[in-house]
């Protein structure tokens, strides 16, 4: 069956996004060129420019693709029949933070601090991703009594993001393993307590 024009366009965009991510992982943003992206995607530069007029635009498109992908993946996980829990979120986040996709994102975060054009291109995407993540956490823990679990989920994300960023430089670190064990212990404790009656000062209510 022949693909429609919209389907062909979607396939080409996915090739470009995946190629851009691969190039960011291998080269970073500053050394990356549109020729690198086109070669990795097995497309001409002319074909790339029909979708993205510049390197920064292509990188912004790939960043949006990555954020949409992780939100979609976690949305599917939350739609599974099992009840969401903090331990499962920790496991899923650990897989994401060890992926090539996150390496690309973390490199962009780092380089955007010194590149105003890159920062301007990806900052709105990062802000929207934060809102989308918050919405998913509220979906996972909607009850008023689960306020502490929502805060804990956000804390786990930031903590694991920091660990994962450093892990690109230090492959196997005993401090990371100890911290991750602490995170898992805390997640287990919070999950067990989520259905208990907790003092207002602990569960987040005034």
d(CA 187, CA 74): 18
- Residue-wise pLDDT tens digits, 52-63: 999 999 999 999
Q: Quote the pLDDT of residue 125.
A: 95
Q: Which residues of the chain have pLDDT under 50?
A: 196-206
Residues in the chain: 206
Which residue, among 22, 36, 45, 179, has the nearest Cα to 107 in the 3D structure? 22
Q: What is the CATH number of domain 5-203?
A: 1.10.357.10
What is the 3-class SS of 33-88, one letter each residue? CHHHHHHHHCCCHHHHHHHCCCHHHHHHHHHHHHHHHHHHHHHHHHCCCCCCCHHH
Q: Quote the pLDDT of residue 50.
A: 94
d(CA 200, CA 202): 5
Q: Quote the pLDDT of residue 206.
A: 42
Instruction: List CB contacts of 180: < 8 A, sequence separation 6 or more.
Output: 94, 160, 163
Q: Quote the pLDDT of residue 156.
A: 81
Q: Quote the pLDDT of residue 186.
A: 76
Q: Quote the pLDDT of residue 14.
A: 94
Q: Domain map of the chain by residue range?
A: 5-203
d(CA 78, CA 12): 30
Q: Quote the pLDDT of residue 64.
A: 95
Cβ-defined contacts of 84-90 (< 8 Å, 24+): 84/140, 84/141, 85/191, 86/149, 86/152, 86/153, 86/156, 86/187, 86/188, 86/190, 86/191, 87/184, 87/187, 87/188, 87/191, 89/140, 89/153, 89/156, 89/187, 90/156, 90/160, 90/183, 90/184, 90/187
């Amino acid at each position: 069956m022949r693909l429609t024009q919209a389907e062909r366009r979607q396939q080409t965009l996915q090739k470009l996004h995946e190629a851009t991510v691969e190039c960011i992982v291998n080269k970073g943003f500053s050394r990356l060129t549109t020729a690198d992206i086109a070669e990795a995607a097995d497309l001409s530069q002319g074909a790339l420019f029909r979708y993205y007029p510049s390197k920064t635009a292509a990188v912004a498109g790939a960043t949006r693709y990555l954020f949409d992908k992780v939100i979609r993946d976690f949305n599917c996980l939350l739609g599974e029949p099992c009840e969401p829990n903090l331990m499962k979120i920790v496991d899923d986040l650990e897989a994401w933070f060890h992926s090539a996709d996150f390496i690309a994102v973390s490199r962009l975060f780092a380089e955007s601090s010194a590149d105003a054009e890159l920062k301007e291109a990806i900052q709105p995407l990062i802000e929207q991703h934060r809102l989308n993540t918050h919405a998913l956490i509220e979906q996972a823990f909607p009850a008023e009594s689960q306020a502490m679990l929502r805060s804990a989920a956000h804390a786990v994300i930031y903590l694991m993001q920091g660990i994962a960023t450093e892990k690109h430089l230090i492959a196997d670190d005993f401090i990371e393993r100890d911290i991750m064990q602490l995170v898992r212990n805390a997640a287990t404790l919070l999950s067990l307590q989520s259905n208990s009656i907790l003092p207002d000062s602990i569960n987040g209510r005034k």
